Amino acid sequence: MKSPSRIKRAVSLEHLKRCPLCRAVNAASNPNCFVCGWKGEFEHEAGKVHEGLMEILESCPELLDVFDHEERRIGLFERFANFVRARFRRHRSLDLRA
């Protein structure tokens, strides 16, 4: 398996944030967490965001291969942001009101 540190160098972590409730990594532009719908403060520290990315890659290591194949055509961050946006869209239709 490739070194996870490669992701840290390639992804601009300032464009990402992590949900304090469910720990999902979100695009910084998402107003709500795409997983749980959280609307408050997010974690922006690079260490926390990187930790969240590593959790995603540990549960789905195939993503590293996707990044590698697409890296030349599209930037790694853009690829990841598209992945996050796609998941956000999928969850958008859920009624998250308590």
* Residues between 35 and 94 that touch Zn ion (CB under 5 A): 35-36, 38
What x/- string results for residues 10 through 39 when contact with Zn ion is judged by CB under 5 A?
---------x-xx-x--------x-xx-x-
| Distance (Å, whole) CA 64 – CA 75 | 13
Beta bridge partners of 27: 16
Nearer to Zn ion, 10 or 36 (CB): 36
Which parts of this chain interact with Zn ion (CB under 5 A)? 19, 21-22, 24, 33, 35-36, 38
